[in-house]
Every structure is written in C-alpha cells, then in structure tokens.
Chains A and B, each alone.
Chain A
Amino acid sequence: MKIKGQGVSLDNLDWRILRLLQENAKLTYTEIGNKLDVAHSTVYDRIQRMEEHGIIKKYRAVVDLEKTGLQHIMALMTIYTEPKESEHIANKLAEFPEVLEVSSSFSEELVINAKVVSQDQPKLHAFIAHSIAPLPGVLRIRTSVITKKYKEETSQPLIF
C-alpha cells in the first residue's frame, strides 16, 4: 500500500487480502499468509495499515434474520424532500436504529432512499408516520415492503 498525500493506493497483495477478509473476516494472519504465500507478519502489517487508513472500516457478523426466527419486515422508502433540507433529513434518518441504509439519489428529482426494518406493518407505519413524515422538509414518502430477497451481498465486489 502506497500513501500519497491524503490518498492511498493499494497493490495487488492488499486487494487479495481484502477479498479474503470479505469472504471470511475470521481468517488468521497465518491462514491468509498461507493462502497468498506470504509471511504472516506481512499480512499483519498490511491489515494494520488498511485499518489505520479506514480502508477496512470494521469487522462484523452478518446475521440472517430469517433464521433467527425474529418476526420482522424490511421496507424500502423513497423520501421526496425540499432540496435544502435533504442533507439534514438524511442525517436524521441515519440516527434511527430501524434505518439500516440511507443514500441520496437523483433521477428527475433529488430523493433519499432508506432501507428500514420493523417488527410488523403497524409498527413500520407508526415509525414512518411519527418519526419520518414530521421531519421538516419531507414532501412525501413512498414505501415498498420487501416480499422476497433474491440476492443480498454485503461485501464489495473489488473487481473494477
């Protein structure tokens, strides 16, 4: 990994380490070293530096809610906002534990997209009605409840 000013550039070994960690973050330095045919100290050094520079943001367990038996529904919200309030609304949304993802996008107008989880439809509605709709600058909201997932990938493709 090379550091130039604020930016960092990854070399082939860094990318290969990242791919392995995205598949299994529990791999040890030795296991990664063995797979890539490098010393575990090299792997340690590369990972340390990628953590320090925020390239590796965190390690976490990916929980399959279906298998936990926990009653839940997921929904995708599209929130139409006044442009000057958009940033503020997105930041407020990000504070709610029910909101899993927040992003903004632009097609014909600027909108905020959010993925939200709730126990059931009445609770989902109550959350949107009492916590999202009253936010200043919210013009209208469209919500789709997810009925079936065909793919859910949490790791980045790292193929560009």
Chain B
Amino acid sequence: MAVSPSRILRTVLREEAFYFFTSIGNYTGQSASSLDEFLQKTKEVNLKSLEFHLYREDFEKWIAQTLGDSKLAEDIKGLRNLKVVGNTLRDRLYFLVSRRLKDLKSALQTTK
C-alpha cells in the first residue's frame, strides 16, 4: 500500500531522526527529523558524512523504513550503485531529494 505524501513529509520523533556521522561512532551534531530538514542537511554536512552513510545504505533505510518513501529510497540506491563521491554525491543527492520533495508537496496540494 502506498504511503501518503503527508506521512512521508511528517516530522518524526527525536528517536527516529537521522543522525549524521562521519565514521563509526563519530556524530557530527547534525540531524534531520523530516525530509525537508534532510534536504537542508545534505547541503551542510561534511562530505565524509554523506559518503559514510550512502555506502552503509543508511539513507535508503531511513527513508524507506522511517519515512516510508520507497521511491526515494530506490533513487538513492541507484545513486549508491553509481559509486559517486565528493561534491558530485552532494549535488546528486540534493537533486534527488529536492525533486522528490517537490513531487510530494505537489501531490499533497492536489489531495487537499
């Protein structure tokens, strides 16, 4: 069953938020409690953190399992398979998340 845009766009509890690390046990102090906030953080966090989480499959797991967005999770999986790193990773991740956010917000408007 498809998850509604409003559910995907919701703000989750502190315990369910995404916490950005740069390596095992090294927390940057940055976290995201919603997809909107996640997009913002993709611009701000250390590149090492983006690489660490992408290749551990953390982004796609959080987006699929916590937010319930299997489509975006698949897109990010595709990005991982391209083995991008550095600023290319940041730019592509930002593009994927912002595009999905736009679609979800637009879908939310039409259902209102």
Chain A 133-160 per-residue mask, 1 if CB under 8 angstroms from chain B, else 0: 1101011111101000000000000000
Task: Say which one of B22-30, B74-82, B91-99 lies at the interface with A.
Answer: B22-30
In the complex, are the beta carbons of A141 and B25 less than 8 A apart?
A: yes
In the complex, are the beta carbons of A133 and B19 less than 8 A apart?
A: yes
Question: Total number of A-B contacts with CB less than 8 angstroms?
Answer: 43
Q: Which among A128, A134, A139 is the interface contact of B25 at CB below 8 angstroms?
A: A128
In the complex, are the beta carbons of B31 and A133 less than 8 A apart?
A: yes
In the complex, are the beta carbons of A138 and B24 less than 8 A apart?
A: no
Residue of A nearest to B13 (CB): A134
A28 interfacial by beta-carbon distance below 8 Å? no
B21 interfacial by beta-carbon distance below 8 Å? yes
Q: List 24 A-B contacts (CB under 8 A).
A: A75-B25, A121-B24, A125-B21, A125-B24, A128-B21, A128-B25, A128-B27, A129-B19, A129-B21, A132-B27, A133-B21, A133-B27, A133-B31, A134-B15, A138-B27, A138-B29, A140-B29, A141-B25, A141-B26, A142-B25, A142-B26, A143-B26, A145-B24, A145-B25
The docked-state distance in angstroms from the alpha carbon of A125 to that of B49 is 14
B112 interfacial by beta-carbon distance below 8 Å? no
Give chain B's interface residue range (CB within 8 Å of chain A).
10 to 19
| A-side contacts of B29, CB under 8 Å | 80, 138-140
The docked-state distance in angstroms from the alpha carbon of A145 to that of B19 is 20
Give chain A's interface residue range (CB within 8 Å of chain B).
20 to 34
In the complex, are the beta carbons of A143 and B19 less than 8 A apart?
A: no
B102 interfacial by beta-carbon distance below 8 Å? no
